[in-house]
Amino acid sequence: MESAEFHNALALLDWQIELGATEAICDVPVNCYELPDKLAKPKSAAPVVQQAASVAAKLDAVAQAEQAAAGVDTLEALRDALAGFEHCELKRGARNLVFCDGVPGAPVMIIGEAPGRDEDREGRPFVGRAGQLLDRMLAAIDMGRDPAASPVYITNVLPWRPPQNRDPHPTEIAMMRPFLERHIALAKPQVLVIMGNISAQACLGKRGITRLRGSWTECFGLPALPMFHPAYLLRQPLAKREAWADLLSLKARLSDG
């Protein structure tokens, strides 16, 4: 009799295992409603608080940039305001503030992305290989930085070089945008040339320079022409055909204007 009960119990256990049971009933009953001796500590809210504080600090930095930029009436004062702005970390790793080159008041204002190594060393925008190509491109339509030619005025979205020439972060662009907008207002160009994706993001709020280039748009209340950055043309020389078409479009716009 005992043997039959044992085999029946073993068969029932096998059947339960086949059904997916993974644990046996303990000798001591478990009270599911009993609180544990030590409740789990709630997760710390510190990371959330720190993240919120970081976002608030960045928003405050943008507000201070807007205030600093709005308070100047000359290009020299704007340069000084940028030099005294301490909220952008790029400043700490850069050698020089890269503010402008060319002729203030020129009909064309070219907006590049950010300084590279050569620009950081010399304190002027577009002086490396990309800058040399830009000079040749402008000379092809009788323009240049020299007042003797049909002059242009050149600046960048960021005045300080990012480490290792990385792309600027959106927060860095947001901090520098008020200064850029004031820069344009004080330089008083007739048209803007927006060179590269970073410049398009800062000025137009969108990227995709291969789609944007060649089509006139409006930026800060002025006619604006997105173009390939000369650094891109050095990597993709076949795109120089489109760049030449854009240069001709720029020259025609000035002739009509």
Domain boundaries, the chain: 61-256
pLDDT on residue 75 = 98
3-state SS assignment for residue 175:
helix
SS3 199: helix
Note whether 119 and 98 are within 8 A (CB).
yes
Give me the pLDDT at residue 25, please. 62
Tokens representing 227 are 């173009």
120-125, long-range: CB < 8 A, 24+ apart? 120/94, 120/95, 120/96, 120/160, 120/161, 121/95, 121/96, 122/96, 123/95, 123/96, 123/97, 123/98, 123/99, 124/98, 124/100, 125/98, 125/100, 125/101, 125/154, 125/155, 125/156
Note down pLDDT in tens along the chain; length 257 residues: 455 676 666 666 666 666 666 666 656 666 656 665 555 565 665 665 455 555 555 668 999 999 999 999 999 999 999 999 999 999 999 999 999 999 999 999 999 999 999 999 999 999 999 999 999 999 999 999 988 879 999 999 999 999 999 999 999 999 999 999 999 999 999 999 999 999 999 999 999 999 999 999 999 999 999 999 999 999 999 999 999 999 999 999 998 86
**CATH code of the domain made up of 61-256:** 3.40.470.10
pLDDT attached to residue 246 = 98
pLDDT at residue 145 in the model: 94
The whole-angstrom separation of Cα 114 and Cα 39 is 53
* pTM, entire model: 0.77
Residue 140 has a pLDDT of 96
Whole-angstrom distance, CA of residue 246 vs CA of residue 91: 33
58 three-state secondary structure: helix
